[in-house]
Structure 1
């Protein structure tokens, strides 16, 4: 049973809403388009909206680990609580979906403009998708909308994907068509396009692509160039728990995205922000670039049979907000990793290129990697366990064994040759 929106519904002005659902486009960010037509008692439209949305939620489990869940409105969306507003309550657009999740936004206006005001999102960790959640029940976050003022009697349109990050939740919106305070019950024929869609070329500070810069959907797709892919810049990242550094990471990152055409994306550490969390048995490093890219690395601690503790990379989640080759934005993850494994209290280092498999269509290449997510002392890396000696130590015994084998073979050959000469010489004496 769907929960009602946390915003009150005015009893003096009930409304009816038409809710239409259509399957979204292909890609990692598959979702459903939600279309809502809010009407007053006279059956006149006061709010019209059609948009795509998705939520990425990080939650803690009973074992003090952190996991990520993606929620998307599906075909069981309802719209209780949506209202045209009155003198005491602002117009409200509200939907409910899944097992007790709800989202709403209210609107304000001036003499010339209108805009979204406050967004409220409630997710219910009793939903089965929140496996082994430590906290059970509805959790609500409230945040100011980032929408800029829009001229009254115009329809706000924005194909570009926008995001809002608050607490452990990332909210994503794209393909938005919206008009609040509709006049005379008729949706306007005049558009107000968002600034992100007005640019023919998307910002290139998010990544350095092997193709031409990413374009918006209204521009022709770039053609692939033969320019060689440069090695990504090496970034130094850290997290603090109070005044104490609790996580250190040094690495160059390159994403390999294989959708219609393979694309390599170098992550620029100069424009990358660092957030995350530290714990005794779980830690998460989040790298984001101007809210256009998110990469979450989740580390965990395990006990070995020798009663020693080791840490390893357990999970990676990636969201690319800027589209690639005209495709939908990308959202993918792998929560079943077991790499970058070393003793707790040490750091893991690998200067050679490594590949982290996220999905069949998405991999991460790392360069000059060094990581320590636990027990950092004096803001410095502890002694490192290098991935290279593992290979060298494997090759050395083979080389030594081959050399010893060759030496034994030479000794045997020399012995048989010498023995044969002595045998021949003895035969001639008789």
Structure 2
């Protein structure tokens, strides 16, 4: 991706008072608001997050483009996007057959839940359409760049017009990692050619995309960052119609991936802390990954850049609550055991996980386990485990931890105390295990050789 020249604003961003198309009558003088924009005869709405629906055609289906202009508290643009998209979904019928459904944007699109974002909270671009379908993407930023993180798509098989005779009823949600490269802050990301993402029997198509997250001072940038597909020699955009999507079943546009999915990378390690009366009372350093196992396993890395920490500290109990900025909440509760003994220890007793729909706040998944005895260490020390560990919350949800170090009690000078390491990190235990296994194998070989030798010797003598 390279930065291009300043883009031509009239091609994508309408002026404050657009002129009518050639041949159309000019609006009457006076206070009459213009009815024409550069995209067609649509009156521009005055709202905090303006959504313009543009009617076009692509093959047999109607294709609506979406324009979202999210405003901040001062009514300045903070997130802008204009794009077109379509979905190809493979679903199971009541007769155990599989059908392909095409889901396009309808005219009743809303934008509830879109937010500006800031240095600590992810920006969110969200739309809802049709009979209970929704799509969203969140953006994170650094000091110099911004990029898309995860795309969340929810489709409702109760929509019988799109999913006739569907065996599974109700909303189905998939989350995929976006492949967008980091974009320089104050640059506009543009991709006219068709791009697609495949996951869990769903292919998402995008084209004619223009967006900018974390808009500065309410002004859309003047430089473009182009996608790799928009090269000078690239072919023009081919809109995904019934014909070319169906015939693409033998190419990379197949709705069911034939290649193994790319492995999810280990999550980044986040550093979290709690304070009580301006004194640090809890320290945690950990990389977290959620493993949701419903129809297919789904791995979700918790991004520490957008995750905030809250909770409570106490003498015998402490709770660390993590909010990843994308409606995912994880609570870790620690308690002290043998409180009256001379040697006291702490351990992880309970974990609660809640996943919400960031569009309407409804609960997607809620799971808890209050019967743990993990991460045990002496009070006043920290617990450390560099290797991957797994917390079984229930039959649907697991949490994988990486590079863990935790101290929920008696933190001094805002630093971890001496660590008690987990057995997984103790490599010295491998040596006696390997030596013991080798000796056991040698003994077995000697015994077998002895038995075989005795049998042969016995068979060699004959009775006279």
Shorter-chain TM-score: which interval? 0.3 to 0.5
**TM-score, normalisation: structure 2:** 0.41
- TM-score under structure 1 length normalisation: 0.45
